[in-house]
Amino acid sequence: MSINQSGWRPEMNAGERSDSATYTGNRALMLDEALIFEIGSLDTTGVDFAEAPKAASRIGGLARNKDIGLPGLSEPEAVRHYTRLSRQNYAIDLGLFPLGSCTMKHNPRLNERMARLPGFADVHPLQPVDTVQGAFEVIHQLAHWLVTLTGMHSVAMSPKAGAHGELCGVLAIRAALDAKGQQARKVLLVPESAHGTNPATAAFAGFTVEDIPATEAGRVDLEALKARLGPDVAGVMITNPNTCGLFEPDMKAISDAVHEAGGYVYCDGANFNAIVGRVRPGDLGIDAMHINLHKTFSTPHGGGGPGSGPVVLSEALAPYAPLPFVEKQGDQFVLVEEETAGEHHAESFGRMVSFHGQMGMFTRALTYILSHGADGLRQVAEDSVLNANYVLRALEDVLDAPFARSGPCMHEAIFSDKGLPEGFSTLDIAKGLIDEGFHPMTVYFPLVVHGAMLVEPTETESKAALDQFIGAFRSVAQRAKAGDTALKSAPHFAPRRRLDETQAARKPVLVWKEPAQAEAAE
Amino acid sequence: MRYLPLTPNDRQAMLAAVGAAAIDDLFVDVPESVRLSGPIAGLPPHASELAVERHMTALARKNLSAGEAPFFLGCGAYRHHVPASVDHIIQRGEFLTAYTPYQPEIAQGTLQVMFEFQTQVARLLGTDVANASMYDGSTACWEAIGMARRITRRAKAILSGGLHPHYVSVANTMAKYTGDQLVTALPELTAEPDTDKLIGMIDDETSCVVVQYPDILGRISDLSDLAAACQAKKALLVAVVTEPVALGAIKSPGEMGADIVVGEGQSIGVGLQFGGPYVGLFGCKEKYVRQMPGRLCGETVDAEGKRGFVLTLSTREQHIRREKATSNICTSSVLCALAWSIHMTLLGEKGLRQLAALNHAGASAAADRLAKVPGVELVTPVFFNEFTLKLSKEARPIVRELADKGILAGVSLGRLYPGEDALENGLVVAVTETTTAEDVETLAAALQEVLA
């Protein structure tokens, strides 16, 4: 009798399976999954309910009689459906996620446990304030940390995301100017390198956006800025460190110049991870800065939200902060809403959102902050900057790094497509990285660097993880330079090949239609 | 520190590799005058999981949670039972720690869920299309007003008195900067909502009429005539749904003719969470899709002809259009949308109808029981799972008094409309499948005592 009955033997290679179809279309653990509309039914439910007691119907003839079209699945089928779908996603939990400007750091699971405590999760926002003092205390403690870390006067906690926070800051500026009779100040100066939300927000608030040029060194051109300041300028929106991953050394001078000219300084705090605990933006003279709790303070990205964007404010802008907010009066926490705004907050520009803000994100962020403490947060900034510089120096010989010669970067490193051969682009390198098992870096942002590749590893990557990433990136870049055409059709190993985005936009299919319906529509 | 993988040896080796003698060399661009020399004073140092748990748990204990008391609050956030598997699935790392699906080849999980969510939302609201979520109902509402302005090129929006006062407040704030002129009103303690009055107010300058369905007092009415009246003047009807479970029992605003239907999805899959994060629902007629804010997921094919999904119509959005975008939104609320979608899939149509029936039956029985308490009058005879009582005394102090006794008795209109004498005896009571008959008895007895 031979041993090794079920293990590999040489003659097995004779039946080598070519890259052909399986019956299911699956590839071992790579499982395809249909839509709930294709596998569920209107008669199936995965939830058991008690019988509804007999009671008079009082919906006044508005009964919904027609089928809605919502398929159900039993619990086992539902769990399988979503588990299979989850496996078609890249995630921080799987590997390094080098998206510049997004700060894809590890999402600690203690945060999730704390957010789910019933005292936080099962509490209604309109309960009498005496019954939710603990929740207010969380908001108050987090607010204290944010104000102290940034060296600012106060903080508006209610904005629901970074862009919402930008809106808050910009509206506070508008309110402050209007209060001084300065409605004529209608221009906001925004660098061309700014994140798209900056000009979008400014435009929404009724401002006209003008570009601030950059210097060769990738910073705001201070002299050009000073030349443009005037009685029609409301202020500036600056990101610091900027979107090229560089600290703006003239930031204080910028703030001083803008203040002297009668304007205000909005700082986009998306890159706070580079300087938390090492620099206080308040010391740089800013008037408002949103903080992305889902970036610097680790609340999970969740596939695209929810976020949270509290806004720290200078003393000059504090009176205009939106409602509501939490204040401590003696031993008690109170909620200042429209009703009690009267004496101390009469100049608030108003309410931005129903209820109080992203409480679930506050508990997570406070848990994160308490875990790190003042020393840990400072270490976060240092390690994030060290990691980015390590990546920059390891790749600057194979990819063009436009600012590498003039000094270190902060928490993110930027490369351009200069030197790539004809027919090869940043996009091809990105797609090649996918086959290597990484999510690509941020591409084509900021606009000021041609074919930009913005790499932000964050502080939660080990040296080994960085080394592997560097090796993969190097390999893909070298393949591009050697003209490897396989890159043009990458990725080859992902659940899907490149998708036709043009068709999706030209003939949008945004909801499922039953096949008969879809044919009739054509 | 448990979240920081670099060891002191690593740091040393890496500093050498980048040609820096010390970490300060990498911060050389920071002017001396603003460099902090060490950890900020007055803030505590790092702490163990155990210590942090103790701290946070102590804070959580200071709150009276809905599960610990007879609970009757609604007014824009509702307590429903979320099946156990929802929370497990959303905590899978591939969902929790994924990013916005800008690289669709490795984000088909998120994208397919978004597509399913969009379809479920559109069908529930009765609209042709829906987006992949907004921050919440209140921001979805003001975005709808903005969208109506862009479509009609008119600036006057008429807001029903039955619209949630926070939503009105948000719309008022935003209108100061967008040039929308809002016509608003307070609700009245009447059995009928203000639908007829609104019809009479529509003119050639009206961009939209905004109604809540069911409204802030829990009232429901047919929107068909209002929709027709809007259409006759080329204005849009915007319907706001803050309790989507209702749409398992009552007609959808879309099928009654609403042009844009927005809402708060919180009651399905998301939980109370003291006000956030929530998930905004946004649906509209097909012809308006290019004016819709927020993310959209569309179906397409890949290079091998396989069906796949991508973010689409991005030319509306900030990362392409910058200052010309339809909105400044970047993040949405995808993880909450996932929870919503999973819960809705577990329910299915059959389960949703059962859930709605349970809610309505419970609320109907509760209304009957409470109306028998001396000093309590039922104001709203037609409702889904939320109704308004008029007490013989001011309601707000009574709610506080009952809270001290461990009963969360609902939302007083004095809390929502402080200083409005005509409303101060009003109490809005919500009843869901989580409310027991004992809870109702407890509330009835307590009201009887305090109103005596």
Question: Which residues 326-365 on chain B approach chain A with CB closer than 8 angstroms?
Answer: 327-336, 338, 342, 344-352, 354-355, 357-358, 360-362, 364-365
Per-residue pLDDT reduced to its tens digit, B196-248: 999 999 999 999 999 999 999 999 999 999 999 999 999 999 999 999 999 99
Chain B residues in contact with A509 (beta carbon < 8 A) = 298-300
SS3 A511: coil
> pLDDT tens digits, residue range B166-182?
999 999 999 998 889 99
* Residue A74 predicted with pLDDT over 90: yes
CA distance A46 to A81: 13
Please report, as a single letter, which amino acid is at residue A390. Answer: Y
The dihedrals phi and psi of B365, each to the nearest 5 degrees, come to: -65, -40
In chain A, whose CA is at the least distance from the CA of B51? Answer: A371
Who's near A48: CB < 8 A, 6+ residues apart? Answer: none
Nearest to A89 among B13, B35, B107 (CB): B107
**Taking CB atoms and an 8 Å cutoff, what residues of chain B touch A390?**
14, 17-18
Instruction: Name residue A467's amino acid.
Output: D
Chain A contact present for B274, CB below 8 A: yes
DSSP characters over B316-335? GSHHHHGGGSS-------HH
Asked whether the beta carbons of B422 and B363 are under 8 A apart, the reply is no
Confidence of residue A196 (pLDDT cuts 50, 70, 90): confident
Query: Alpha-carbon distance B184 to B147, whole Å?
Result: 18
Q: Are B154 and B168 in contact (CB under 8 A)?
A: no
Q: Where are the alpha helices (DSSP H) in B297-423?
A: 318-321, 334-371, 395-404, 413-416
What contacts B422, CB < 8 A, 6 or more positions away? B186, B188, B189
CA distance B318 to B293: 10
Give tens-digit pLDDT for A309-331.
999 999 999 999 999 989 999 99
Q: Using H for helix, E for strand and C for coil, what is the string for B142-189?
A: HHHHHHHHHHHCCCEEEECCCCCHHHHHHHHHHHHHHCCEEECCCCCC
At A448-467, the pLDDT tens digits run 899 999 999 999 999 999 99
Which residues does chain A have within 8 Å of residue B245's beta carbon, measured at their own beta carbons? none
Contact A212, A222 (CB under 8 A): no
- What lies within 8 Å, CB to CB, of A317 at 6+ separation is A169, A172, A173, A176, A264, A287, A288
Confidence of residue A521 (pLDDT cuts 50, 70, 90): low
Beta bridge partners of residue B209, listed in sequence order: B158, B237
pTM over 0.90: yes
The band of A222, judged by pLDDT with boundaries at 50, 70 and 90, is very high
CB pairs under 8 A between A and B: 701
Question: What single letter denotes the amino acid at residue B95?
Answer: F
Confidence class of residue A499 from pLDDT cuts 50, 70 and 90? very high
Out of A199, A201, A509, the one facing B298 most closely (by C-beta) is A509
Sign of the alpha-carbon dihedral angle for B275, B279, B280, B281: negative
From the list B279, B298, B321, the residue facing A504 with the nearest CB is B298
Tens of pLDDT, residues B372-419: 999 999 999 999 999 999 999 999 999 999 999 999 999 999 999 999
Cβ separation B11–A91 shorter than 8 A: no
Report d(CA A36, CA B116) in Å as an integer.
Answer: 7
Query: What six digits make up the tokens of A225?
Result: 């800025």
Within B18-107, residue ranges assigned H as helices are 49-61, 84-90, 93-96
Whether the predicted pLDDT of A56 surpasses 90: no
pLDDT tens digits, one per residue of A356-404: 999 999 999 999 999 999 999 999 999 999 999 999 999 999 999 999 9
For an interface test with B, give the residue of A126, A204, A467, A492 to mutate (most B CBs within 10 A).
A126
Instruction: List B residues 397-416 in contact with A (Cβ-Cβ < 8 A).
Output: 399-400, 403-404, 408, 411, 415-416
Whether residue B184 has pLDDT greater than 90: yes
Q: Do A497 and B303 touch (CB under 8 A)?
A: yes
Measured between beta carbons, which residues in chain B are less than 8 angstroms from residue A68? 123-124, 247-248, 252, 349, 352
- Chain A CB within 8 Å of residue B5 CB: yes
Environment class of residue A117 by beta-carbon count within 10 Å: exposed (0-12), middle (13-18) or buried (19+)?
buried
The answer to whether residues B253 and B125 touch, using CB atoms and an 8 Å cutoff, is: yes
Strands B206-212 and B236-241: parallel
Q: What is the ipTM of this complex?
A: 0.97
- What is the four-CA torsion angle of A427, A429, A433, A434, rounded to 10 degrees? 30
With CB atoms and an 8 Å threshold, state whether A162 touches B331. Answer: yes
Average pLDDT over residues A96-119: 97
pLDDT band with cut points at 50, 70 and 90 for residue A5: low
**Considering only residues 187 to 216 of chain B, which have any Cβ-Cβ distance to chain A shorter than 8 Å?**
none
**Residue B324 banded pLDDT, cuts 50, 70, 90:** low
pLDDT at residue A193 in the model: 83
| Distance, CA of B411 to CA of B388 (rounded, Å) | 10
Q: Enter the tokens of residue B379.
A: 């104001």
Preceding amide of A408 cis, omega within 30: no
Q: What is the mean pLDDT of the segment spanning B337-348? A: 98
